[in-house]
Amino acid sequence: MNIVLVTGGARAGKSCWAAEEATRIAGPDVAFVATAERRDQEMADRIAAHRLDRHRSWITIEVPLEVPRAVRDADRPVVIVDCMTLWVSNLLLAADAPGGPAAGEPVGFDAGGPVGSDAGGPVGPVRAEVESLLEVAADRTGTLIVVTNEVGLGLVPDNALARIYRDLLGWANARVAGQAERVVLLVAGIPVELRGDRLPSPPSATT
C-alpha cells in the first residue's frame, strides 16, 4: 500500500484532510479504521460527530487495539486509520495493565527505536504492533492514510507514563513516516507537504 502519514497538532484539520484525500482517491470506496473508545460522554459525542462527517457508503471498523488485522481485512482500495495517537495510547495501557511502568524503565532512542523496547515492559508490545501494521501495508495494494499527532513540541511530561507515551508515539510517527510515500503536516488547517507528491486517483474512481 501507498502510505500517507498526516500529522500535526490538535484540531489542526488532520481528519478532515484525510477524509478529503481519501474521497479524492477512491470516492465512496473507503474503509475507516477508528481507534477511539467511548470512555465518557464527551468522547461518545466526538465519535458521533465524526460519523456524520463520513461518506455514507464508507465502512467503519472500530478497533482500539487490533489495527493491523483491521487494515488487512478491509476490502477497500483506501483505508484510513484515525488515529495512531489513540492507538498507541490504547496499546500502551493494555500492555501495561494493571500497573504503571516500572520505575526507572529506560525510554529514549537508539538506532533501532525506543531504548528498552526489547527488554520487556509496555514498550515492546507497542513497537511490535506498529511493525505489524507496516508489514500488513507492505503486503496489500491501495492506499493507507494514517492520522497522528505531533506531541514532541511541548514541555517534557511530569510523569513516567506520559514520558513513555510521548517517546513511543514519537518513535511510531518516525517509523511510519520512514515508510511513507507522502508525509503531510497540518498547521491551522493548511497542509504542508513534507515528503512526496499527491497520489493519483485510479481511473475507475468516482468522486
Q: What would the pLDDT profile of 98-146 be if each residue is shown by its tens digit?
A: 544 443 344 444 434 444 444 457 788 999 999 999 999 999 999 999 9
- Residue percentage of the chain with pLDDT more than 70: 76
Q: How confident is the model at residue 51 (pLDDT cuts 50, 70, 90)?
A: low
123, amino acid identity = V
What domains sit in the chain, N to C, each tagged with a CATH number?
2-195 (3.40.50.300)
Selection from 128, 126, 123, 127 nearest residue 102 by Cα: 123
When pLDDT is averaged across residues 61-72 and rounded to a whole number, the result is 96
Residue found by looking up cell 513497537 in the block:
127
User: DSSP per residue over 125-192, as a string?
Assistant: HHHHHHHHHHHHHHHS-SEEEEE----SSSPPPSSHHHHHHHHHHHHHHHHHHHH-SEEEEEETTEEE
Q: What is the mean pLDDT of the chain?
A: 84
pTM of the predicted structure, to 2 decimals: 0.83
Residue found by looking up cell 511541548 in the block:
154
Whole-angstrom CA distances from 176 to 12, 59, 91, 148, 161 are 20, 24, 16, 10, 22
Do 187 and 14 meet the contact criterion of CB atoms below 8 Å apart? no
End-to-end Cα, the chain, rounded Å = 21
Give the active site residues.
50
Do 142 and 76 meet the contact criterion of CB atoms below 8 Å apart? yes
